[in-house]
Structure 1
Amino acid sequence: MSLPFDDIQSSLEEIEFLARSPNRIRVLDTLTAEPMKRHEIEAGTGISRATLARILDDFEDRGWVIREGKQYETTPVGNYVAQEFTDVLKRFAPVPGLNEVAQWFPEEGFDFDLGCLAGAEIIRPARSDALAPTTHITRRLRTADRVRVISYSHLSDVMEVCWRATAERTLELESIVDRGVLERIETDPRMLDHAQEMVESGQAKFFWHEGPIPVTVFLIDDVVLLCLSGDEGAPHAVIETSDETVHSWAESIIDTYRCEGEVLDPRLLTE
């Protein structure tokens, strides 16, 4: 049911009151932890005495804070406002970074709540490192014990690291690729040799999927890397997260494409 206009207006006024002042948010959040004296709030937030006095007066007028003696504490309404507003801020936290890379999202997006990417690290190319996303993937791989990946693109630097790590028996690899990547391996003798050696090491398993794979996802130990490549091969950006929901999603989508795919023995490609 839609909210009446008056309810929307009054709600926006309350939201605007907090949103236009980070200091108000900090004071309210600080007071939800425990009652405090004014000088304790000042020391904990770094807000000037005069500004803090105005904020506390405003909160008292709104019924969000009460004063008992020299101590201030939040009321039930104040606690509610602080919790709800903090939740909104957390939900919006990933938006600025995601706006910069959303153009490379899979066509149908990701099948999880984007709020799960709050706190995720977004790696993009920089002037000092134009290949920063790929460099980040290879850096992660060098210290990994187990990797699962589905991909519609081939990254030679990534395969090189996987080849060395499996040959040294420090990495266990499971890779699911589509026909395009398979054809790329078939036409490159060096990659084909590497793939064969990886299988022979007993540390790597390859699967290929007849249909298209919509995303490139690395599950490196407990970390998920979402590679944003658009229609191209090399990633324009990488999103790294340890969020449990995203991790479960990554496990699920990798399992799905592995079950739908066929085991690939690179030695058969030369016959």
Structure 2
Amino acid sequence: MKSALAEIEFLALSSNRVAVLEALADGLHTRSELADATGASQPTLGRILRDLEERRWIARADGGYEATATGRMVAEGMTDLLAIVETEAKLRPVMEWLPTESMTFDLGRLRDATITVPSRTRPSAPVKRVNEALGRAEDVQVCSHAFNEGTLETVRERVVDGRQRFDGVLSRAAIDALAEDDSLRAGLRELVAAEGATIRRHPEEIPIAITIADGRVLLLVRDDDGVLQASIDTDDPEVVSWARSVYEEHWEAATPVEADEL
């Protein structure tokens, strides 16, 4: 264990070491190519190459260097570790509110996700991010415990104009909240009556807020008091597959909402 940690430390203490090993794991490179790629000076590069050769992670070949089989293995492992740590750092500010019990995919799939959080100047930034996606999308599925005024208006306008297909499964509480307001009830009724929309009412509270807009998943994250903390969006295939399965599970358990009910 200690020796393995020492080798990890050896690589981690120098971004140039990692860069050189990753470059050579991709194929043969000359010293000048490595210097250009890393920006390392020739003396520094010489020490790095010597250290990597001593560990038998790289070998000389055809006027340059390339990674050995074990070198490629180490490079791949280091790349994976860096990706995991980078993803954790990105998720850390919202980690305590993520519905991880429902998120059955590898959290590493969120590496390239966009995380939008509220700020003093943009307190509604997460919702705005979702509404911007809805304002562009042609095909939308929603599974949520809430449906705010801005989202309703964006969807209603695009569906009525024939620019969007919308299918949503909402909690009973979300639909009741809209129905309590005359203006929102009218908008919801128009949406439900539109040819391009179908809305279902789920009998129980939906513990998650998922939007799938043209194959991109947008997840709204709230704290224990229901205060919006972030939106997370990604088009990673595994996350999209998970979101669709959650949506379909709730859809099957829900019943259609008719315009004359509102």
TM-score, normalised by the number of residues in structure 1: 0.92
Unaligned residue ranges in structure 1 (runs of 5+): 1-7
Which of 202, 205, 222 is equivalent to 1:209?
202
In the other structure, the counterpart of 1:160 is 153
- Distance, in Å, in 2 between the alignment partners of 1:124 and 1:157 is 18
Query: More displaced, 143-152 or 65-74?
Result: 65-74
Distance 1:19 1:53, change over 3 A: same
1:221 maps to 2:201: no
TM-fit CA distance, 1:137: 0.9
In the other structure, the counterpart of 1:148 is 141
Unaligned residue ranges in structure 2 (runs of 5+): none
SS across alignment from 1:173: strand
| Preserved contact between residue 145 and residue 174 of structure 2 (Cα < 8 Å) | yes
1:17 maps to 2:10: yes
| Preserved contact between residue 143 and residue 168 of structure 2 (Cα < 8 Å) | yes
1:99 maps to 2:86: no
| Preserved contact between residue 64 and residue 75 of structure 1 (Cα < 8 Å) | yes
- Distance, in Å, in 2 between the alignment partners of 1:51 and 1:267 is 76
Q: What is the aligned length?
A: 262
SS across alignment from 1:238: strand
Cα deviation digits, residues 237-269 of structure 1 (max 9, x gap)? 111111111101111110000100111114213
| Preserved contact between residue 92 and residue 115 of structure 1 (Cα < 8 Å) | no
Which of 183, 186, 189 is equivalent to 1:190?
183
Distance 1:44 1:131, change over 3 A: same
TM-fit CA distance, 1:71: 1.4
Which of 55, 58, 63 is equivalent to 2:51?
58
In the other structure, the counterpart of 1:262 is 255
TM-fit CA distance, 1:115: 1.0
- Distance, in Å, in 1 between the alignment partners of 2:185 and 2:226 is 19
Which of 102, 114, 118 is equivalent to 1:121?
114
In the other structure, the counterpart of 1:87 is 80
In the other structure, the counterpart of 2:20 is 27
- Equivalent position amino acid for 2:167 in 1: E
| Preserved contact between residue 103 and residue 242 of structure 2 (Cα < 8 Å) | no
Percent identity between the aligned chains? 32
TM-score, normalised by the number of residues in structure 2: 0.95
| Preserved contact between residue 192 and residue 198 of structure 2 (Cα < 8 Å) | yes
1:244 maps to 2:237: yes
- Distance, in Å, in 1 between the alignment partners of 2:261 and 2:62 is 82
TM-fit CA distance, 1:234: 5.9
- Distance, in Å, in 1 between the alignment partners of 2:101 and 2:185 is 32
- Equivalent position amino acid for 1:222 in 2: G
| Preserved contact between residue 153 and residue 233 of structure 1 (Cα < 8 Å) | no
Cα deviation digits, residues 80-139 of structure 1 (max 9, x gap)? 111121122223331111111112212735221101111111111234322111111111
- Distance, in Å, in 2 between the alignment partners of 1:252 and 1:268 is 28
CA RMSD of superposed structures (Å): 1.6
In the other structure, the counterpart of 2:169 is 176
- Distance, in Å, in 2 between the alignment partners of 1:122 and 1:253 is 21
